[in-house]
Structure 1
């Protein structure tokens, strides 16, 4: 995994530097906090924030892994692939690879997500329906700099895992 200390991070409070202090008042549940009201929802509900790709590549890739030597997982992966194609035809869904490809150490197929709405619908659905399979969810970013280094960061430091992690071959990004 990439070392987070090698990256620079913008302040999460950018744009809120002069905001009034937050209240310590508790919400109705007695545990969470009362948050200040906003006039409108965050624009992140409608579009991915920069530097996520808003173009042809899509903002996120979801790689769904299975152990190709395991007949039950192989069949489950093929059935899940078919179900996703039927239930989410608006997503870009690639072929099922029955062997490792690129940095991915086992068989898999890929799904691309283009909007926050697609992400918000598909990821919770996948949490329930992925069964015994693992999934890597990684962003696709549009940034200046070394493309391979950016891809390495997207597949490691910025990645989200569902299920068991698989060690990626990050050497392909050198």
Structure 2
């Protein structure tokens, strides 16, 4: 079982994972997050980017956004897996020690982060 997100960092990324069948839903979810919480939403990648082994969209948020945003995201993700991690400047630790999951954990390719 994965660890639930905890608010211990200044800045975070949430990576919403999806595939062709959930593309429209994930796109709408990320757009809603940006509009509702005033968050910076990255591109909706229909390819694997960086250490992510599935299509994804990144949402950038801070510790101030954490308490309202994370419960909303968890309640509205409709089964999508979401990686939530701190942004500390240490990419390897961010994607391992500081990685939390909403839903099922997805494999992350750590090779480029070492």
| Helix, strand or coil at the partner of 1:64 | strand
TM norm structure 2: 0.85
Larger RCO of the pair (alpha carbons < 8 Å, separation 6+): 2
**Structure 1 or 2: more strand by fraction:** 2
TM norm structure 1: 0.58
Q: Which residue of 2 aligns with 1:140?
A: 87
When the two chains are superposed, the root-mean-square deviation of aligned CA atoms in Å is 1.6
Give the distance between the partners of 2:30 and 2:98, measured in 1 at CA. 25
Shift of 1:80: 0.9
Q: Deviations over 1:101-154 (max 9, x none)?
A: 00000111011112x330111001001001121100000115xxxxxxx21111
Give the distance between the partners of 1:125 and 1:105, measured in 2 at CA. 25
- Of the candidates 80, 104, 124, which is equivalent to residue 71 of structure 2? 124
Gaps of 5+ in 2: 1-6
Name the count of aligned residue pairs. 108
**1:53-132 correspondence runs (5 A):** 53=10, 59-68=11-20, 71=21, 73-88=22-37, 90-114=38-62, 116-132=63-79
Moved over 6 A (4+): none
**Structure 1 or 2: more helix by fraction:** 2
Q: Report if aligned partners of 2:81, 2:105 keep a CA contact under 8 Å in 1.
A: yes
